[in-house]
Structure 1
Amino acid sequence: MAAGVSGYAISMGAHRVVVVGGGFGGLGVVRGLKRADVEVMLIDRTNHHLFQPLLYQVATALLPAGDIAPAFRAILRKQRNAKVLLGEVTGFDTTAKRVHVDLPDGTSRSVEYDTLVVAAGSQDSYFGHGEWAEDAPPMKTLEQAVDLRSKLLRAFETAVAADDPKEWLSFAVVGAGPTGVELAGQLADLARRALKGQFREIDPRDIRITLLDAVPHVLPPFSEPLRQHTRTKLEKLGVTVMTNAMVEKIDAHGLTTKDGDRVEARTIIWAAGVQASPLARKLAEATGAEVDRKGRILVNAEDCSVTNEVFAIGDMVNLDNLPGIAEPAIQEGHHVAKVIKARLENRETKPFRYLDLGTMATISPGDAVADIKKLRLKGILGKVAWAVVHIAFLVGWRNRVAVLAQWAWNLVTGRRAQPIILEPMHAIERK
């Protein structure tokens, strides 16, 4: 006798662990249970793990999409106790211990579990102005990054034949956190170095890149010396930095701040804020847990549990207000895997303790900042530290080697690996 989705049955004799979401946290749980006496099912709406910290490098044509998004089945090919299910989780029945899933063929199924781990991540927040997404798209998924790459490259192609090239060579990035800073820096390098010689009709002086945020500084989590270094370097790259600039209106030709300043930009990228996945609220409703104002579910700080059988980790949880970056999710995933194994073996586990490894952001191919406790690195030392950490966190040696090779090629030649325009599927479907 078996239970679960047809074709994905889990033995009734095995302890069934269902993991929702294959990001840093969810994948960490699955891999952490490799040698445990359990059967694991990973459910995700995509078939790949996404290394989000390098997503902006796909958007700026530096890396191919596949280098930061290995398929789950390839990652888990040797883990015999793990199964993968492609589907959209729509809800939870924690009384019957079931997860409701919409499958690719249009049908719906319920997957039974003994232990549930939800690691559904986060989504972009437009602070009540969802209509801005049409003119200022986000960059949270691989599809969005590829679409953005096409939009950026199309802007250069359009400028070549336009009566007013400056109109199409105007870019704005909303949000001066690590993602916004890294995106603005890479965009400046793409525009002034990588495309040099390929777009001889374009005068680099016509390119305008604006980075703006409502907060007083770029990189708010960092120390003041590193914030100042970052701003100075961005401005040397030709980026106009606007702080204390709250966006009030966005349209197809630019944006307006609350103070009335107008920024003309035909390409606007949103990197200003995130909120928890809607599954956090659904899980809270199913379990009776609470959510904070950002929609994050509150969990037990000692073991990341919501109930005895349900855990939640990553960006969708509030655990002592840890930052929504990769490292907390990774550590939470490893801890939950240990807790599950310990419970099955009737062992106790130590409470979860977060090890702060600091924060990092890259500015240009040869410059980055790293704030690691009392150690503050910038320039080439910061870049080396940044590169080592990111390569270490990438999944798979093939991806690590490929990314290193692309970085080296770009550093030496200034050329990009993927200057390709792909038409978005929704545009093709309209034809």
Structure 2
Amino acid sequence: MTDHPKDGQAGPHHVVVIGAGFGGLQTVRSLKGAGLRITLIDQRNHHLFQPLLYQVATTILSPSEIAWPVRDLMEPRPDVTTLLATVTGIRDGKVILSEGEPVAYDTLVIATGSRHSYFGRDEWAEFAPGLKSLEDATLIRRRILLAFERAEREADPARRAALLTFAIVGGGPTGVELAGIIAELAQKLRPQFRNIDTAASRILLIEAGSRLLAAFDPKLSDYAAKSLERRGVELRFGAPVTECREDGIDIGGTFLPCQTRIWAAGVAASPASDWLQIKGDRAGRVPVLGDLTAPGHPEVFVIGDTATVPAWEGKPVPGVAPAAKQQGAYVARVIRARQSGRAAPPDFKYRHLGDLATIGKRSAVIQYGRLRMRGFLAWWVWGIAHIYFLIGARSRATVAWNWLWNHVRGRSAVRLITHSPKGTDGGQIQD
């Protein structure tokens, strides 16, 4: 690790970036060679390719194929110091950490992403985990696989039926992708069990709105719904989840016994608005200015899912990876302009690269401008796009090989059940 001037001493302009996600990492990369001192802070030691996180949760990919240690990525950058730490606040030009000394900054970039939103019912998180981290993915994978294992040795028909019922709450891309792949997994596992028919599992996708994939063209939403139904997924529209318990969920006044519940219904921003004492929007996102700075804080940039940016033809920029990367690159241009004394670039404008969602093997939907694509060809385009955005040739080759093997043979090498500490996962096998 390269020594840097201590805070308060003369030295290069100090840029602190909180968050090693798409936005934060792009900011750091785009500042290469700018002659700055950069500190990158994250509470996890890896950068995560979240668009493929659901494939870890459904046994297609292993965690190491979609995550990379931040220190490995930053090793060629002596201008970057990486800190594994949890940020608890921002005060008097310093980032406050849960442990250790505060970190002073000249410029601050907040790219802390989002978390699950249970719409005021945070106690549901224990019973219906969301999908935002590797820990979430391995927890969901464990619960899905354990449901089949426990059903294999369950004699009571009602309890067995509950074990073989999987409920996904939320009909956005994550919910659609999870439902389709869990349905396919249940089919693939059928020859491996003797006492149960895994193909008879009940997979429900629950959407409080009137259709799936609300951001997509209605015809593509309809295609996705019919494709899921052909895979045996039950769709529930127009009724929100009103209760979530250890033994099931309540949908519009009707209780459904189920042992595996997954939350894909909403997100909330990180507490950056509280740190800055700025009123956030309904999801807690910071309403930033045209140059992506926080109101009243020209030295603080807020990007990605942490910010609400009306820079997409007057609409808020969607919380997707390409948007965060574009914002990170833009912030780096602003910082470079400030340091060189040049005029700042024009206000940020978002360039939409399209909406993509896979429904399962050989099926996906894509919309880009007026272009609409669905089915097998869309599935190939979806796969190529995701492989392209992975970091490193090794990751691209490994993921491509696993997809090919899974496509041709229908088998996966990562159907492993890893146990959590006793008492932290209600789905674990009891001794």
Please report the TM-score for the alignment, with normalisation by the length of structure 1.
Answer: 0.92
* Aligned counterpart, 2:149: 157
* Aligned counterpart, 2:232: 238
Percent identity over the alignment is 42
Please list the CA deviations of residues 271-325 of structure 1 after superposition, one character each: whole Å capped at 9, or x if unmatched.
Answer: 1000111133212x1xxx4321211111112344542211000101111121112
Contact 1:313 1:333 in 2 (8 A): yes
Query: Pairwise mapping of residues 11-410 of structure 1 onto structure 2 (< 5 A)?
Result: 12-93=10-91, 96-102=92-98, 107-163=99-155, 164=157, 165-193=160-188, 195-258=189-252, 260-283=253-276, 285=277, 289-306=278-295, 307-320=297-310, 321-348=316-343, 349-410=345-406
Moved more, 56-65 or 156-165: 156-165
Question: Amino acid of the residue matched to residue 179 of structure 1?
Answer: T
Decide whether aligned partners of structure 1 residues 326 and 11 sit closer, same or farther in structure 2, where only a CA change above 3 A counts.
Answer: farther
Question: Amino acid of the residue matched to residue 256 of structure 2?
Answer: V
Q: Secondary structure at the match of 1:263?
A: strand
Contact 1:101 1:108 in 2 (8 A): yes
How much has 1:74 moved relative to structure 2? 1.2
- Alpha-carbon distance between aligned partners in 1 of 2:371 and 2:324, rounded to the nearest angstrom: 23
- Alpha-carbon distance between aligned partners in 1 of 2:33 and 2:324, rounded to the nearest angstrom: 21
Please list the CA deviations of residues 213-252 of structure 1 after superposition, one character each: whole Å capped at 9, or x if unmatched.
Answer: 1010011000011000000000010100111121111112
Measured on the aligned residues, the alpha-carbon RMSD in Å equals 1.9
How much has 1:422 moved relative to structure 2? 0.8
Decide whether aligned partners of structure 1 residues 413 and 196 sit closer, same or farther in structure 2, where only a CA change above 3 A counts.
Answer: farther
How much has 1:425 moved relative to structure 2? 3.6
Contact 1:281 1:296 in 2 (8 A): no
- Alpha-carbon distance between aligned partners in 2 of 1:319 and 1:296, rounded to the nearest angstrom: 9
Question: Amino acid of the residue matched to residue 156 of structure 1?
Answer: F
Contact 1:304 1:319 in 2 (8 A): no
Contact 1:173 1:271 in 2 (8 A): yes
Q: Secondary structure at the match of 1:49?
A: strand
Contact 1:304 1:332 in 2 (8 A): no
Q: Secondary structure at the match of 2:333?
A: helix
Decide whether aligned partners of structure 1 residues 64 and 429 sit closer, same or farther in structure 2, where only a CA change above 3 A counts.
Answer: closer
Contact 1:281 1:297 in 2 (8 A): no
Moved more, 232-241 or 380-389: 380-389
Decide whether aligned partners of structure 1 residues 57 and 429 sit closer, same or farther in structure 2, where only a CA change above 3 A counts.
Answer: closer
Contact 1:43 1:86 in 2 (8 A): yes
How much has 1:328 moved relative to structure 2? 1.2
Contact 2:190 2:199 in 1 (8 A): no
- Alpha-carbon distance between aligned partners in 2 of 1:309 and 1:426, rounded to the nearest angstrom: 46
Please list the CA deviations of residues 30-82 of structure 1 after superposition, one character each: whole Å capped at 9, or x if unmatched.
Answer: 11111211011100000001111111111111100011110101111212211
Please list the CA deviations of residues 110-161 of structure 1 after superposition, one character each: whole Å capped at 9, or x if unmatched.
Answer: 0111110000111101011111112111121111111111111111111111
Q: Secondary structure at the match of 2:298?
A: coil
How much has 1:88 moved relative to structure 2? 0.2
Contact 1:368 1:379 in 2 (8 A): yes
- Alpha-carbon distance between aligned partners in 2 of 1:11 and 1:245, rounded to the nearest angstrom: 59
Contact 2:190 2:197 in 1 (8 A): no
2:412 to 391, 395, 416: 416
* Aligned counterpart, 1:7: none
- Alpha-carbon distance between aligned partners in 2 of 1:302 and 1:310, rounded to the nearest angstrom: 10
- Alpha-carbon distance between aligned partners in 1 of 2:328 and 2:376, rounded to the nearest angstrom: 32
